[in-house]
Amino acid sequence: MKTLAEMKSEGPPKKTRVKICGITNINDALLCIDEGADAVGFVNVKSSPRYVRENDIRDIILQLQEAVVTVMVSAGKTAKEIVESWKVAGTDAVQVHSELSEGEYAKLKDSIPMVIGMVPVSGELPSERIKEVSQHADAILFDTKVGGKTGGTGKTFDWKLLSDVRKITDRPVIVAGGLKPSNVSEVVRCLHPFAVDTSSGVEDAPGKKNKMKVRRFIMMARQE
């Protein structure tokens, strides 16, 4: 099973990779893998309608036979709490939606081999935050900030804000926020990101993936 770090060492991918987030059951995990997803994400945030407990994440992962990167999404926890949850879940990576300090990020890296730092985007690109997260994260995921919610909103942001992001960070860029089959190809054409991430854009209901939407999303993300 390749990790994001191993993928990064291979150099720029020929095609943008796809992460399907908000997986809540084994059937949807297998569906996404069968359709060609490179990574699947599990939301370990109690306030989310897609919340999955650590033990349940582990149970799903143990049933996966294909080479796919597994990611646990965490928010509102300290570094210590994140590590404790990750040890139970057993994912390849943790996607952090908490605004951790430099010291807290360092604690994560002492225990977790792969950390994806989330940077919220609203009206402008938060350059200083990107620099801070880049010091410790293996990849950076950009998601939309709406009100007090930093990610998981299903809303898009102005993707053009990321056009010069590689002048700020050399970390792999993952774009999220309201992506769906009808707009993902535009993101890929504009930014050529390391990966794109979707959840609600391929669902019938929160945590219930739609096979045709998943298939269409992956096809449109890789049509170049």
Q: What is the pLDDT of residue 223?
A: 82
How do the residues of the chain divide into helix, strand and coil, expressed in percent and rounded to 5? 35, 20, 40
- Residue 99 CB contacts under 8 Å (≥ 6 apart), including other chains: 150
| pTM to 2 decimal places | 0.91
| Domain residue ranges in the chain | 15-221
Residue 70 predicted with pLDDT over 60: yes
Q: Enumerate the active-site residues.
A: 21, 143
Whether residue 79 has pLDDT greater than 90: yes
Taking only the tens place, the pLDDT of each residue in 35-52 is: 999 999 999 999 999 999
Does the domain spanning 15-221 belong to CATH 3.20.20.70? yes
C-alpha 73/C-alpha 153 separation (Å) is: 14
pLDDT at 148: 57
pLDDT number for residue 13: 52
Average pLDDT over residues 138-152: 75
